[in-house]
Structure 1
Amino acid sequence: MTQRVELATVRDRMAVDGLITDYAVAVDDGDWTAYRGLFTPDGRADYRSAGGIEGDAGTIASWLAESMRLFPMRQHLIVNRRVRFGTWEQDTGDTADVQADYVSPMGTAGSGSGPDLVCGGRYAFAALRTDDGWRLREVVVREKWRRLPERAAAPVIN
């Protein structure tokens, strides 16, 4: 591999990594316009394993805007990103598949003592290089676990 090819691969990897980070920030900040802008025109997302829906990016953004109102405190932590570049219309490196683990604590209004819900799992992202940069073609959430915080037992009155 030449230095030019290696540099291009590093640049693409950083751009795809930035796209995944932008996804997490858009969801955590409730920036649904930015969320929609991360997708290709035919981009889709599937949140069914987490109790959600599947559909185009606009439909999903509207659903997230409504369902995330319950949790004004959100903090996606997306880690262990495995990026694999592929071929699109015979151009190597114009697609990327990313598997990434996530932990997502979320809190309801007035839950100053910590999150009310913590869940985790793995994302499968499919990205495409476009004239506007890398965009998401598909996001699939594979929730593996969910935990509600333990509540202290009510005091016993003698």
Structure 2
Amino acid sequence: MTQRVELATVRDRLAVDGLITDYAVAVDDGDWEAYRGLFTPRGRADYRSAGGIEGEVRTVAAWLAESLRVFPMRQHLIVNRRVRFGIWEQDTGDTAEVQADYVNPMATAGPAPDFVCGGRYAFAALRTDDGWRLSGVVVREKWRRLPEPRTAPVVN
């Protein structure tokens, strides 16, 4: 690899990493316009493993906006990002696949989470004239912790 190719790869890796961070922030902040803007025009998302839907990004963004309304506090922690660049139309580096683990605490009210889940994302990204965009997101929820049932205090 030449130094120029290595520098381009580092720039692409940082751009794709930033795209994944922007995804988490958009979902956590409920910024559905920003969320839609992270995808290609034909982008799709699949949240079925977490009890959601699969479809084109506009439909999924509307579903997320409605479903997550009950959780005003959300914080996606996306870690262990594995980025692989692919080949599109005989040019290297125009596609990327990212696998990343996540932990997502959410709360209906107050600082303590009512619900915590975790799993792995599979992101597909495409280099466009506007920069890197998501062409697909698949959520693979692995675990979920619901709040413990509250018992009435014992009064002596």
- Matched with 1:7 is 7
TM-align CA RMSD: 1.0
Instruction: For residues 81-105 of structure 1, give each alpha carbon's deviation from its aligned partner in whole angstroms, at most 9, with x where no partner exists.
Output: 0000000111110000000000000
- Cα distance between partner residues in 2 of 1:32 and 1:113: 23
What letter is aligned with 2:51? G
Deviation at 1:148, TM superposition (A): 1.2
- Matched with 1:49 is 49
Instruction: For residues 20-58 of structure 1, give each alpha carbon's deviation from its aligned partner in whole angstroms, at most 9, with x where no partner exists.
Output: 000000000000000000000110000000000000010
Matching of residue 122 in structure 1 with residue 120 in structure 2: yes
Deviation at 1:157, TM superposition (A): 4.0
- TM-score, with structure 2 as normaliser: 0.97
Matches within 5 A, 1:35-74: 35-74=35-74
- Cα distance between partner residues in 1 of 2:153 and 2:64: 38
- Cα distance between partner residues in 2 of 1:29 and 1:156: 39
Aligned length: 156
> Tell me, what secondary structure is at the counterpart of 2:83?
strand
- TM-score, with structure 1 as normaliser: 0.96
- Matched with 2:25 is 25
- Matched with 2:99 is 99
Deviation at 1:153, TM superposition (A): 3.0
What letter is aligned with 2:148? E
**Residue of structure 1 aligned with 2:110, choices 74, 96, 112:** 112
Question: Where in structure 2 are there 5+ consecutive unaligned residues?
Answer: none
- Cα distance between partner residues in 2 of 1:152 and 1:50: 24
What letter is aligned with 1:130? T
Deviation at 1:151, TM superposition (A): 4.3
- Cα distance between partner residues in 2 of 1:115 and 1:15: 31
- Cα distance between partner residues in 2 of 1:64 and 1:105: 16
- Cα distance between partner residues in 2 of 1:31 and 1:149: 27
What letter is aligned with 2:25? V
Matching of residue 87 in structure 1 with residue 69 in structure 2: no
Deviation at 1:156, TM superposition (A): 2.8
